């Protein structure tokens, strides 16, 4: 059984692990502004835990297409209060979703255990040093500035994540602190995102656990015709169940309770299949 280590915490990867999402942003694609108020954030934090989240991922800067970048101080002003609330009330591992090393360092100082970098240590190279120095676990995600339907997307993902791993190890990180995220919905056509999910087994050859985050994303809307992100639960569950069947270890999701139910049924069916 594999174990993912994040500072003093360990996550056993003996079943699909659920990473709940808290976006304290005004402009995230599906829940922008919903949890900017500290009381709303606190309620969501407790609800995610009650519904069965194993990890909570907190982000303060939207990464949706066309979003407005924010400075490090503004991002910290959004993220750090929510992290403090979560650390005071939960025993779960906490993740900070940021692409800035300065934000990551401050987040870890107030209780974050994991740094979730959507550019896989390849946009802000100080990220690797922060992770190595603090003992944080990391999520290294594949990304592209724009989709290119002509490329071999799996080759691109493997090459990018291999470079990210090399950066992390050179900085002094250990292998048991690394999760890889193929970045579905980021710099990919809808068809490429579907291809990535169907070939997660190829990524496992890199030797690291896989995180998959398809929750409510635009590519699901493109494939299903569902425009409202909050109405994409059925498509999200389909993508994530396919991902687990292809070897995903951690699932990042908005709708924790629905995923916990779906994974309970999946586990029961797989157990019967092994009997």
Are 270 and 245 in contact by the 8 Å Cβ rule? The answer is no
How far CA 221 is from CA of 68, 204, 228, 234, 267, in Å, comes to 22, 27, 8, 11, 27
Annotated active-site residue in 188, 216, 217, 232 = 217
How far CA 106 is from CA of 93, 200, 231, in Å, comes to 16, 33, 35
Is residue 230 among the annotated active site residues? no
Annotated active-site residue in 230, 252, 260, 270 = 252
Strand pairing report for 94-97 and 250-253: unpaired
Distance CA 272, CA 104 (A): 43
Is residue 188 among the annotated active site residues? no
Residues designated catalytic: 217, 252
């Amino acid at each position: 059984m594999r174990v993912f280590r994040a500072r003093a915490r360990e996550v056993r990867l003996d079943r699909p692990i659920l990473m709940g999402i808290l976006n304290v942003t005004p402009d995230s694609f599906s829940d922008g502004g919903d949890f900017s108020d500290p009381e709303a954030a606190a309620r969501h934090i407790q609800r995610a835990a009650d519904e069965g989240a194993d990890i909570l991922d907190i982000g303060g800067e939207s990464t949706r297409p066309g979003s407005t970048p924010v400075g490090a101080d503004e991002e910290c002003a959004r993220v750090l209060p929510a992290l403090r609330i979560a650390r005071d009330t939960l025993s779960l591992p906490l993740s900070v979703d940021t692409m800035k090393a300065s934000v990551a360092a401050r987040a870890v100082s107030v209780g974050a255990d994991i740094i979730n970098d959507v550019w896989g240590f390849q946009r802000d190279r100080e990220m690797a040093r922060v992770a190595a120095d603090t003992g944080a676990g990391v999520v290294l995600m594949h990304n592209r500035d724009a989709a290119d339907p002509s490329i071999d997307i799996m080759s691109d993902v493997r090459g990018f994540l291999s470079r990210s791993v090399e950066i992390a190890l050179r900085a002094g990180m250990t292998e048991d602190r690394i999760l890889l995220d193929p970045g579905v919905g980021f710099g990919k056509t809808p068809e490429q995102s579907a291809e990535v999910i169907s070939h997660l087994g190829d990524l496992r050859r890199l030797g690291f656990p896989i995180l998959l985050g398809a929750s409510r994303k635009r590519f699901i809307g493109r494939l299903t015709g569902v425009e409202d992100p909050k109405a994409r639960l059925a498509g999200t569950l389909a993508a994530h169940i396919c991902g687990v069947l292809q070897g995903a270890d951690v699932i990042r999701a908005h709708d924790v309770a629905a995923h916990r139910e779906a994974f309970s049924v999946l586990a029961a069916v797989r157990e019967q299949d092994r009997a």
